[in-house]
Amino acid sequence: MLAVAEPEQLPVQQARDGKPEAWDALFRRYQLPLYVYVFELVRNEQTSLDIVQETFIAAVRHIGGLRDDEKFGSWLFGIAHQKVIQFWRKHGGKEILFDEIPEPPDGFENSPDNLLIRREQEAEFMNLLNQLPLPQRSVLLLHFVEDFSLEEIARITDTQLGTVKSRLHYAKKALRKLSGGIEK
């Protein structure tokens, strides 16, 4: 008989109680996924690091407002999403594009679960992804890379569920068109 794996228990209550080791555990769990998500939206390594740091600072300040500890991940990504929107508004939506994605900074855990795609497909995929508007790119990343449900994405992006579904539909359609119409 196979044992069923228990869902990951995050020390959210301990973090709410101000325990530094709980925040360390939460930071280790979410630092790379947040960095990857933010980087794919702002396309700048230093800005991504700054936004991830600002996200955790805001989380520490506002964790008392989190009602459901199991939604910590989507709540944290929601904070990061708002920080990205603030960045884009401040900088007029000007994107900094790179030919290649840099390696994550030192100190970030490099786990297979956090890789976006295989190394040989990375440059082509990122080129296609960069051609999408920010709202579509954001929904794609949250759904397919970070594995959030459509309902969680609606909460993260503060949009209606129907809007999330529409953005996902049009993003996939645009990616198929950009890649030469290759269907799965």
Q: Determine, yes or no, domain membership for 30.
A: yes
Pick the residue with more confidence: 123 or 44?
A: 44
The pLDDT tens digits for 142-180 are 888 788 899 999 988 889 999 999 999 998 898 888 877
Residue 49 has a CB neighbour count (10 Å cut-off) of 17
Q: Is 47 left (phi over 0), alpha (psi -120 to 50) or beta?
A: alpha
pLDDT at 32 over 50: yes
- Side chain identity at residue 82, one-letter code: Q
- At which of 39, 62, 94 does a domain end? 94
Question: Are residues 126 and 175 located together in one domain of the fold?
Answer: yes
Cα radius of gyration rounded to whole Å, the chain: 17
CATH number of the domain encompassing residue 159: 1.10.10.10
Q: Per this entry, what is the length of the chain?
A: 184
Q: Which residue has the tokens 């990504």?
A: 77
Q: Determine, yes or no, domain membership for 81.
A: yes
Q: Can you read off the two tokens belonging to residue 76?
A: 């944290």
Question: Are residues 120 and 155 located together in one domain of the fold?
Answer: yes
CATH number of the domain encompassing residue 86: 1.10.1740.10
Q: What is the pLDDT of residue 175?
A: 84
Q: Domain tally for the chain?
A: 2
Q: What is the pLDDT of residue 113?
A: 38
Confidence label for 77 from pLDDT (cuts 50, 70 and 90)? very high
Q: Determine, yes or no, domain membership for 128.
A: yes
pLDDT at 51 over 90: yes
Pick the residue with more confidence: 48 or 123?
A: 48
What is the arithmetic mean of pLDDT over 2-31? 80
Q: Determine, yes or no, domain membership for 106.
A: no
Q: What is the pLDDT of residue 55?
A: 94
Q: Give me the helices (H) in the chain, please.
A: 12-16, 20-42, 45-62, 72-90, 119-130, 134-140, 150-157, 161-178
The pLDDT tens digits for 78-119 are 999 999 988 888 876 554 443 334 444 444 444 443 443 344
Q: Nearest Cα to 114, choosing from 7, 26, 11, 28?
A: 28
Question: Are residues 15 and 89 located together in one domain of the fold?
Answer: yes
Say if CB 144 and CB 125 are below 8 A apart: no
Question: Are residues 119 and 83 located together in one domain of the fold?
Answer: no
Q: Determine, yes or no, domain membership for 102.
A: no
Q: Determine, yes or no, domain membership for 124.
A: yes
Q: Determine, yes or no, domain membership for 47.
A: yes
Say if CB 143 and CB 153 are below 8 A apart: yes
Q: Determine, yes or no, domain membership for 140.
A: yes
Question: Are residues 72 and 143 located together in one domain of the fold?
Answer: no
Question: Are residues 29 and 87 located together in one domain of the fold?
Answer: yes
Q: Which domain holds residue 163?
A: 115-184
Question: Are residues 119 and 161 located together in one domain of the fold?
Answer: yes
Say if CB 15 and CB 66 are below 8 A apart: no
Q: What is the pLDDT of residue 2?
A: 39
Question: Are residues 74 and 145 located together in one domain of the fold?
Answer: no
pTM of the predicted model as reported, rounded to 2 decimal places: 0.66
Question: Are residues 89 and 131 located together in one domain of the fold?
Answer: no
